[in-house]
Structure 1
């Protein structure tokens, strides 16, 4: 059924479940799944495309979980989700023709700065605070920029959305996590559409990993809603540092 060994399939399925769990809380699921796909023998572009397929299930599962409990303002966020979707298409098309070395060089520094922000910012909890920029400015600048990045490269997208919602939109940590998943879902769909167009998706393993991501994300979202900033904040810091370390090693 699969073109790879059964043991490798099982490892990818387990990685997808864990990635979905972590991603639903703090983002960074691509830190786990993209390297695993490349170790399994897929090319970098195939790994990115297949990661988008299985990531749709994980981020979609998270959105369903958070929205069902009233943590997502769908009406106000849908226009920004559309922009995230469109920007990711452009980023993914660019990723198929341009190497991402410059992103790999800059990303560890950015992730460490994000980790420091969340680790040391006082009064970082689930309470909403004053906005620093208008919703329109937020939606027309930060959202498409991060969506484009997600299509072009991907790892750390959830951390960037989280930082934007907390630092600029004034959202509490749990609310920021919920809305991050919505915009990340949209960018996953956009990136996936572009990778499908160029034939860079391994469908069988992607769908299997997607099912595992869905289950992992449900568990992660449930835990995040029960504990809020108490678990989201330390896990987000850990994920940012781990992702930065992995990129530096690579």
Structure 2
């Protein structure tokens, strides 16, 4: 178990690092828990998801705090999105009980491919802030983005951070660095509701979740500092790598599941 915990902590640190820059930490951390599940005595799937959520929220919150100290955040955009995201994430979670979230995989795969192609072909996309139709009167757009992302996160989840970053860049005209900062803050909001439920239901393995959370936090702080130092071009590159990774994962699941 000691060696397993060391591996899980290393994967958690890597997940926090990746997620703090371009999203997609779930590509690393949750699969690590599932692969090493046999080494965790009597671990039910719900406990693994709860453990993953605590570690992820810790790192995301730390990255958000680190960004907030060094990057100016436009709270006109963040607050409305936080409110609708939190509300609609609960509706999404309710829908997940009634429907099969796996039905969304083909659609998510198509959307991610479109995001990757669009971002790759437009070399200057998100490298600097720009004026858009939405940026003049952003509130309705921000409310809609928060609602859509919140529902998706509650219903299905994977790729939430990447979609949120893309929408903040494409619709609101933010550069990748500021979009990533905004996404982190909103992600904390949508994830906290799920974490509260897992804690209430007792579905956490604290002996694993706490050290993983500390390592995810360290990775998140390191990643946010590098992102601030390297700028939007670096965040854009990491974002593309993460999106391609998510595409490969879901292409495999759609084809072979």
TM norm structure 2: 0.87
Alignment of 1:161 with 2:164, yes or no, is: yes
Q: Which of 227, 234, 239 does residue 236 from structure 1 map onto? A: 239
Confirm or deny: 8 A CA contact 1:61 1:214 kept in the other structure.
yes
Q: Which of 1, 6, 30 does residue 10 from structure 1 map onto? A: 6
- How far apart in 2 are the matches of 1:204 and 1:112? 38
- How far apart in 2 are the matches of 1:206 and 1:192? 12
Give the structure 2 partner of residue 129 of structure 1: 130
- How far apart in 2 are the matches of 1:114 and 1:125? 13
Q: How does 1:18-57 map to 2 (within 5 A)?
A: 18-41=14-37, 42-57=43-58
Query: Which range is displaced more, 112-121 or 99-108?
Result: 99-108
Structure 1 residues 177, 244: closer, same or farther in 2, change over 3 A?
Answer: same
- How far apart in 2 are the matches of 1:76 and 1:158? 16
Give the structure 1 partner of residue 40 of structure 2: none
Alignment of 1:217 with 2:220, yes or no, is: yes
Structure 1 residues 156, 162: closer, same or farther in 2, change over 3 A?
Answer: same
Deviations 1:34-54 (A, max 9, x none): 211222325554433322211
Instruction: State the shift of 1:106 in Å.
Output: 2.3
Query: Which range is displaced more, 175-184 or 94-103?
Result: 94-103
Structure 1 residues 192, 88: closer, same or farther in 2, change over 3 A?
Answer: farther
Displaced runs of 4 or more, over 6 A: none
- How far apart in 1 are the matches of 2:48 and 2:206? 11
Residue segments in structure 1 that go unaligned for 5+ positions in a row: none
Q: How does 1:45-84 map to 2 (within 5 A)?
A: 45-74=46-75, 76-84=77-85
Report the 3-state secondary structure (helix = DSSP H, G, I; strand = E; otherwise coil) of the residue aligned with 1:40.
helix
Instruction: State the shift of 1:197 in Å.
Output: 4.2
Deviations 1:24-83 (A, max 9, x none): 110000111121122232555443332221111111111111110133234652232132
Give the structure 2 partner of residue 115 of structure 1: 116
Over alpha carbons, which structure has the higher Rg? 2
- How far apart in 2 are the matches of 1:191 and 1:119? 33
TM norm structure 1: 0.89
- How far apart in 2 are the matches of 1:44 and 1:243? 21
